[in-house]
């Protein structure tokens, strides 16, 4: 059996097992062990636990549970709602200010939590009801939170980028810095669309009212005094200081990513204890329980995905696939387009963690040979995977939103997120035309390579 035939069989069996409904980690493990049994020496089965342990015994991966703990401490406390309320109070006079407030709140919370679902849940639980109460259409309210939540895997500390750095053997600090520029670009694009959409909905509401219809909440005049705005800051500023402190420690060279994650998690726990009086065991139980569940799930997927990649490499599937792609002699940009299209399709069914760990051995060698900067590609790939988080049929954030706002029809949620998918595609095009948006900051701070 040729390597490519064996690779095709490997892919087909993987899809069949995944579509059976088996959890992703166990599906990857079953396929890996099955192919080890049938196509590798019998003694290879004795190394399964050793391979998984060696792959997980990485100091970089240690930061994942710690960043998850930091995100859970903030997400399971009222910090997300307070952050949203403070930004709204300061931006409510800006056209579409409530939508912009939610974009900024998602961006800030994503940078603190590093998790897309956590951002959607924390900001959406407060933001969606507030927007709807003030007249925003359900689809728009759901769409802007779902899209804003995707910033959680782009802005540092991004768990997805940690895994990409491990898979691509790239500098995590450089990759984190590369995500900041595109992250701000997406925030600006989302905020710009929020202004446009809010003005459009305002005009429609005003026209209905002038025709004798019901007065929409869009037309209500809301006012916050300066003292009210200032009163909201004390609870928010400590978490913003935490975010800034973590960034300074990481990029200033004062601490490694793992040390930074540990420091951030510890400080987040201290802050929620001091600010919200969350310190009793019954109060900490949801935070610690959520951390254990999510960390276990992610590390199981990572361990089985790395075993999956090891089997691909041993059977020469990844090498043959990479050589086949190179042998097509595609132009540089056609190669990139083909790979990104594959990532989009995989994003319909798989989470970003699995996409990175399953495809890295195949797609990275041809990209490196074509002269692409793998740091830059990591950012582009992350944005494309963000599109998968809000793109049907299996966009994770869509179902998170549906869970926190069950009365909004799924059709409205999907139509609400589609403009943001288009904005992400525009961001990818801009990054292709102006790669300095991503690589400029790491080159300036850490030097060119």
Q: What number of H helices and E strands is found in the chain?
A: 21, 0
Give 103 or 379, the one with higher predicted confidence: 379
In a domain, 227, yes or no: yes
Q: For residue 83, what are its two tokens? A: 């952050």
- At 425, is the pLDDT very low, low, confident or very high (cuts 50, 70, 90)? very high
Q: Residue 213 falls within a domain, yes or no?
A: yes
Rounded to two decimals, the pTM is 0.71
Residue 44 lies in a domain: no
DSSP string, 138-175: HHHHHHHHHHHHGGGGTSSS-HHHHHHHHHHT--HHHH
Higher pLDDT pick, 177 / 328: 177
Taking only the tens place, the pLDDT of each residue in 39-76 is 888 777 777 777 777 767 777 677 778 877 877 787 67
pLDDT exceeds cutoff 90 at 301: no
Q: State the average pLDDT for the chain.
A: 79
In a domain, residue 388? The reply is yes
Residues in the chain: 449
Task: Kindly state the average pLDDT of the residues 242-268.
Answer: 76
The upper half-sphere exposure of residue 70, i.e. CA atoms within 13 Å in the direction of its Cβ, equals 30
Contact of 155 with 165, CB cutoff 8 Å: no
- Residue of 116, 245, 253, 246 lying closest to 174 (CA atoms): 253
Highest-pLDDT range among 59-63, 247-251, 263-267: 263-267
Domain containing 300: what range?
Answer: 58-446
If one compares 314 and 75, the residue with the highest pLDDT of the two is: 314
Q: Measured on CA atoms in the order 49, 55, 60, 65, is the torsion positive or negative?
A: negative
Neighbours of 89 (CB within 10 A): 20
Query: Helices 116-133 and 97-113 sit at what angle, rounded to 10 degrees?
Result: 160
The tokens describing 269, both together, are: 């726990």
8-state DSSP, 218: G
Q: How many domains does the chain have?
A: 1
Q: Rounded mean pLDDT of 307-317?
A: 77
- Residue 49 located in a structural domain: no
Residue 278's region, left for phi above 0, alpha for psi from -120 to 50, else beta, is beta
Taking residues 272-279, what's their average pLDDT? 86
Of 178, 153, 155, 175, the C-alpha closest to 165 is 175
Residue 36 lies in a domain: no
Q: What are phi and psi of 331, to 5 degrees?
A: -65, 160
Q: Is residue 187 part of a domain?
A: yes
In terms of average pLDDT, the best of 215-224, 270-279, 359-368, 425-434 is 425-434
What is the structure's pLDDT at 393? 60
CA distance linking residue 85 with residue 105, whole number of Å: 9
pLDDT at 407: 83
The radius of gyration of the chain from alpha carbons, rounded to an integer in Å, stands at 23
pLDDT above 80 (res 363): yes
Contacts for 197 with CB less than 8 Å, ≥ 6 apart? 96, 99, 140, 419
DSSP letters along 82-128, please?
HHHHHHHHHHTTSTTHHHHHHHHHHHHHHHHH--HHHHHHHHHHHHH
Task: Please indicate, yes or no, if residue 9 is contained in any of the structural domains.
Answer: no
| Contacting residues for 118 by C-beta, under 8 A, at least 6 apart | 71, 72, 75, 109, 152
CA 223 to chain CA centroid, nearest Å = 34
């Amino acid at each position: 059996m040729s390597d490519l035939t064996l690779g095709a069989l490997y892919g087909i069996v993987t899809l069949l097992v995944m579509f059976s409904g088996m959890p992703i980690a166990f599906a990857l493990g079953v396929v890996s062990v099955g192919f080890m049994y049938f196509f590798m020496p019998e003694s290879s089965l004795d190394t399964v636990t050793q391979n998984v342990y060696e792959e997980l015994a990485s100091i970089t991966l240690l930061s994942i549970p710690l960043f998850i703990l930091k995100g859970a401490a903030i997400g399971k406390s009222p910090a997300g709602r307070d952050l949203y309320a403070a930004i709204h109070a300061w931006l409510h006079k800006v056209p579409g200010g409530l939508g912009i407030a939610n974009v900024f709140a998602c961006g800030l919370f994503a940078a603190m939590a590093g998790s897309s679902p956590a951002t959607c849940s924390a900001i959406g639980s407060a933001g969606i009801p507030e927007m709807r109460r003030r007249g925003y259409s359900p689809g728009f309210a759901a769409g802007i939170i779902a899209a804003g939540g995707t910033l959680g895997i782009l802005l540092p500390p991004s768990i997805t980028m940690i895994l990409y750095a491990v898979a691509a053997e790239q500098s995590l600090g450089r990759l984190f810095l590369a995500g900041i520029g595109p992250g701000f670009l997406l925030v600006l694009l989302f905020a710009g669309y929020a202004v446009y959409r809010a003005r459009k909905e305002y005009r429609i509401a005003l026209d209905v009212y002038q025709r004798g219809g019901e007065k929409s909440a869009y037309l209500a005049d809301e006012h916050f005094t300066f003292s009210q705005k200032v009163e909201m800051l004390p609870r928010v500023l400590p978490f913003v200081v935490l975010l800034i402190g973590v960034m300074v420690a990481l990029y200033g060279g004062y601490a490694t990513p793992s040390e930074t994650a540990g420091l951030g998690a510890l400080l987040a726990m201290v802050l929620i204890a001091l600010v919200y009086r969350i310190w009793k065991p019954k109060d900490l139980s949801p935070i610690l329980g959520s951390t254990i569940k999510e960390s276990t799930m992610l590390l199981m997927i990572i361990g089985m995905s790395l075993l999956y990649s090891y089997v691909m490499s041993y059977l020469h599937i990844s090498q043959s696939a990479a050589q086949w792609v190179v042998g097509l002699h595609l132009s540089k940009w056609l190669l990139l387009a083909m790979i990104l299209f594959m990532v989009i399709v995989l994003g319909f069914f798989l989470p970003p963690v699995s996409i990175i760990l399953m495809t890295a051995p195949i797609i990275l060698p041809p990209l490196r040979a074509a002269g692409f900067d793998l740091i830059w590609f990591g950012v582009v790939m992350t944005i494309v995977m963000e599109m998968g988080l809000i793109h049907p049929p299996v966009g994770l954030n869509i179902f998170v939103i549906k869970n926190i706002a069950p009365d909004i029809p799924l059709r409205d949620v999907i139509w609400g997120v589609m403009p943001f998918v288009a904005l992400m595609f525009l961001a990818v095009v801009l990054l292709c035309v102006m790669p300095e948006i991503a690589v400029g900051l790491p080159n300036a701070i850490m030097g060119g390579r």
